[in-house]
Amino acid sequence: MTKPIPDKAEVAVEYPDKLYIGTFGRSARFDAHLDENGISLTLERTGADDERKSVRMHFHYELFAEIVRDLAKTVASLPETDVAHRAVLREAAEALASALQARERSGTDDTAGLTPQEEVRLLHIME
């Protein structure tokens, strides 16, 4: 299920003889979900044939976990005055952690183990 992109994404794919660059703004859509092998991310821009484009990426769980660890190591580079971005990232990380913990506690895919606050955070991430 795709949702509107709340901000902006930029993608560059570089080959030895070609460079593809695409931007995806608020009029574009995205989908992110877990599957049996890892994390799936799709960015789509609709419109006329010459404007339409999509990017699909799939990261196996180990790679995605390492990416998250590397992001954690670079948090210091985000200015302390950038409270809004820090809060959004923290809430997203907390929602993911809560959902993973709830799954472990319940042994099912539902969110029965989430507190109301955790459910709200998860809903914000999924929007």
User: Of the candidates 10, 30, 60, which is a domain's last residue?
Assistant: 60
Residue with tokens 């985000």, as numbered in its chain: 78
Residue 68 covered by a domain: no
User: pLDDT per residue over 112-126, tens digit each?
Assistant: 666 667 776 666 666
Neighbours of 27 (CB within 10 A): 11
Residue 67 covered by a domain: no
Same domain, 78 and 52: no
28 Cβ contact partners less than 8 Å away, ≥ 6 residues apart:
4, 5, 9, 43, 44, 45, 46
pLDDT-derived band of residue 51, with 50, 70 and 90 as boundaries? confident
**Model confidence pTM above 0.75:** no
Same domain, 89 and 56: no
